[in-house]
Chain A
């Protein structure tokens, strides 16, 4: 289905709704409020949908119910304190939130973390990607009515969270990244344990491929549903797996790894030509597999040495501006920091992936059926904390 037919469908549905008002059988459209409290929105997102029967004429997402003012709050926190806050943006892959902020601050201070710290950062970055996306892989099943996969996802994600906790001390909010390096080194025996966990995660991917992705009903519910053409996706600022599922070969990890060691690994960027909900699921599944391979390579090549560069005790970031973007689990995430040489940032702008990924929803939801609203939103995969910040 291309752009014109989608718009035509919405137009025809609207015309039909209006035309029926004028004939003897009187019907009226219905406005359905989905949310802010609704099981399919993983939080407090509200979607106002105007329906004709079960068909959506237009749908508008309303966000901001969970706005916590992080961009403003960073202005009264010192740089090391900010990581505590920004952990809570994408709460499923927390460590990944810290990295771009720290990298931007390091860029301003013109220091570089030692190689070992960079490698461990990359390891934890990919682990949080697995923790985040593996939950999506199960959650998509719940949104489609299959109850079982999400329990597998919660079970196996726990292994990854345990490993993150073993290093950082926090399952969800590690607060582990420091300007100039990391808080601690890896604990003894951690690498062997994590290798086992990675094996389990690969089994998990195989299981879900069998249980959910190979299911005929899953295919008819996702194939051809919510197609995003590459040009439309790019114009809405989509990033991450959502745009790669539309066939755009764009991955910040490969194109601009700045500060992380992706260019020393042998890995592949997965894309899918279809751009529908199935493609988005498929790409994410492959990314989890790819991440497990990347971490094994990182273990093999892990250099020795210090994990902290020489950094002043009281961190004052020199005046200037920096923007660093990384490929987070949900898509491109960047921090634009303006510093005036003080203890606290002067201004921080957070570019979070989910906000842009959701912005395509009104375009995408035109003319679909009510159950497909849920499928499409689930496959776009946003986290409310990442939208509202």
Chain B
């Protein structure tokens, strides 16, 4: 096995021999498989099982061992549902909205590195790209809210727009500290900077930025919670107030798209958080160019993603919901000043040390 791996050309080498369209098809295929799988894993482990255990119940137990196939069954059920358009809806926009949300998720996966060569597209401005693309989903949500021709959906869509714009800012500002420290916008570069770093001259585990950017990590977590519209920031969907918000008129596979978009985005944001703050795919003790890391990296990333997702979903299951104006207050009066202070301190230390 080892001999095969070390003698065989690297994965990138194989890909490089193919023509551009062949490479693109393979990459698109990988991403298209990863998104539903990620949504299934997160949905099963956290939404079904962890939530049940938090709430002192068992959760699904019948479909497959311990209900592992429950979400597949649910997905099949969604596909069988009638595709309903509300009478006064704008049919084209209504149909395009869930696709828009899913496209935003799809594009996020493109830049997520899980190994030295295992990345779909290694962009030089990776961080910038990720933050820009993630806000595309707002457009989809606004489209859904407006096109549904429903008052609850409209309120939900507008709340989502206000909330996502407010939380885009702390999200970006929280990341700036990392960028200053790493000195690059490239996600692979940030991983390498953490892998090559040392803690007080001791470089055994590299230097995950969570140690210096802890405030940034917390702000990032809170902001992605709001970005994903999960409790305590789930006002755009708020079942008990506006009965699902922008999702209220959606059924069948269009609703499934929103669902996959939400959990797929949760997965990839947890991935980005682990790249930015937890050291990404790097395993201490390996050479950063080692081909082994292409194999181990995805596993390490999965573990880190699950750890970050655990935090995200823990808040989701235990916290009540903020009010819309209280959320804006938290964003503008607490998170942004703290993030700015974090940037200033990081900058001063970067120059001074």
Contacts and interface: CB of A to CB of B under 8 A. Distances in A.
A associates with B: yes
Interface of A: 30, 32-33, 38-40, 54, 141-148, 151-152, 155, 211-212, 215, 217-218, 220-221, 369-374
Given A32-B151, A370-B241, A371-B238, A146 B319 contact: yes
B290 interface: no
B324 A369 contact: yes
Contacts of A32: 151-152, 155
Contacts, number: 81
B78 to A, nearest CB: 21
Contacts of B321: 144-146, 217, 221, 371
A146 B151 contact: no
A155 B56 contact: yes
Nearest to B237: A145
Given A39-B243, A370-B241, A371-B241, A221 B322 contact: yes
Given A30-B151, A145-B234, A371-B238, A215 B319 contact: yes
A142 B318 contact: no
B319 A217 contact: yes
A38 B319 CA distance: 22
B232 A148 contact: no
B46 to A, nearest CB: 13
A39 B152 CA distance: 13
A54 B327 CA distance: 14
Contacts of B303: none
Contacts of B324: 54, 369, 371
13 contacts: A30-B151, A40-B241, A141-B320, A145-B234, A146-B321, A147-B231, A151-B57, A217-B232, A217-B322, A221-B320, A221-B322, A369-B325, A371-B238
B323 interface: yes
A221 B55 CA distance: 22
B242 interface: yes
A371 B55 contact: no
Interface string B257-294: 00000000000000000000000000000000000000
B320 A146 contact: yes
A30 B242 CA distance: 14
B155 A54 contact: yes
B323 A38 contact: no
Contacts of B241: 40, 370-371, 373-374
Interface in B195-252: 231-232, 234-235, 238-243
Contacts of B54: 148
Pick the most buried of A211, A218, A221: most chain B CB atoms within 10 A of its CB. Answer: A221
Nearest to B329: A220
Contacts of A147: 51, 55, 231, 317
Contact of B231 (A145, A152, A220): A145
Given A146-B231, A155-B56, 13 more contacts: A32-B151, A143-B240, A145-B239, A146-B318, A146-B319, A147-B55, A148-B54, A148-B55, A211-B318, A212-B320, A220-B323, A371-B235, A371-B321
Given A217-B232, A220-B326, A369-B324, A148 B240 contact: no
Q: Which 4 A-B pairs have the closest CB atoms?
A: A145-B321, A151-B55, A144-B320, A146-B320
Contacts of A211: 318
Given A148-B318, A217-B322, A220-B326, A142 B242 contact: no
A155 B58 CA distance: 13
Centre residue among B317, B319, B324 by max chain A CB count within 10 A: B319
A326 to B, nearest CB: 31
